[in-house]
């Protein structure tokens, strides 16, 4: 009998979390921003992400503590990250930028500076004091079983238990990532805005020219479910 268990990620999960971050960055395409922006090869990217995760910096997309893992009979099937934005009064983008600055080889910075204009064109700020969903990934053999939906539900439960006054959770995805869009819509998220890059060269660095911002009002969703159950 197969049983899915959900648990918090640990240091032992770093290889799977690295894969999750890489696959989420690619969003189903072959464009990996760590490669296009920094000029690194896959081995270098895996090493870089592993090193940054090992630092155990909390409250950003490169935090082990932000990730939940779905397991089936001891096999890691999927993972998803989420955090409270600005939890320590420092934006998650700053925490990630600090890690990149500390670990990236200097020669990557010139290439990164050249691409900044194109990647900024799709940047959407994280709103302080809201929950944010980061990278998610499901192993191919476990797809079609709504594991990301299950992880999303568990992530929200965990975050709201820790921060009960927070009511909004957001996810940013590229428009080419149809599976994630469907997952979040099924989980009660709604599209609140889209951002389209006017810089055509953005596509040379990122998986798409269009980004979608989704939001879920947690209390409103709970209310809807309660009303349906009455």
Query: Is 7 an interacting residue with respect to other proteins (CB under 8 A)?
Result: no
Least distance from C-beta 18 to other proteins, angstroms? 17
* Rounded Cα gap, residues 135 and 80, in angstroms: 6
Q: Distance between CA atoms of 136 and 159, rounded to whole angstroms?
A: 16
Among 42, 54, 116, 196, which residue sits at the site for other proteins (rule: CB under 8 A)?
116
- State whether residue 34 is helix, strand or coil: helix
Residue 136 φ then ψ, to 5°: -140, 150
Cβ nearer to other proteins, comparing 183 with 205: 205
113 binds other proteins (CB under 8 A): yes
Token look-up 């921003």 returns 33
Q: Is 208 left (phi over 0), alpha (psi -120 to 50) or beta?
A: beta
The mark string for 15-54 relative to other proteins (x by CB under 8 A, - otherwise) is: ----------------------x-----------------
Tell me which of 47, 97, 162, 186 binds other proteins, using CB under 8 A. 97
| CB neighbour list of residue 185: distance below 8 Å, 6 or more residues apart | 214
Instruction: Name the site residues for other proteins (rule: CB under 8 A).
Output: 37, 55, 57, 86, 89-91, 93-102, 104, 106, 109, 112-113, 115-116, 119-120, 123, 125, 128
């Amino acid at each position: 009998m197969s049983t899915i268990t959900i648990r918090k990620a640990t240091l032992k999960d770093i290889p799977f979390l690295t894969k999750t971050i890489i696959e989420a960055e690619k969003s189903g395409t072959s464009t990996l921003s760590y490669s296009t922006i920094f000029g690194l090869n896959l081995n270098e990217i895996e090493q870089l992400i592993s090193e940054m995760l090992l630092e155990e910096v909390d409250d950003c997309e490169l935090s082990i503590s932000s990730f939940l893992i779905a397991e089936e009979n001891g096999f890691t099937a999927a993972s998803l990250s989420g955090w409270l934005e600005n939890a320590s009064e420092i934006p998650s983008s700053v925490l990630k930028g600090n890690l990149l600055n500390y670990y990236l080889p200097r020669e990557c910075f010139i290439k990164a500076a050249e691409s900044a204009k194109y990647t900024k064109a799709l940047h959407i700020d994280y709103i302080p004091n809201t929950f944010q969903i980061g990278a998610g990934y499901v192993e191919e053999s476990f797809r079609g079983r709504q594991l990301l939906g299950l992880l999303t539900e568990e992530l929200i439960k965990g975050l709201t238990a820790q921060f009960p006054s927070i009511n909004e959770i957001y996810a940013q995805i590229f428009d080419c990532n149809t599976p994630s869009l469907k997952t979040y819509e099924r989980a009660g998220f709604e599209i609140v805005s889209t951002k389209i890059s006017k810089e055509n060269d953005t596509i040379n660095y990122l998986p798409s020219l269009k980004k979608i911002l989704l939001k879920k009002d947690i209390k409103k969703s709970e209310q809807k479910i309660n009303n349906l159950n009455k």
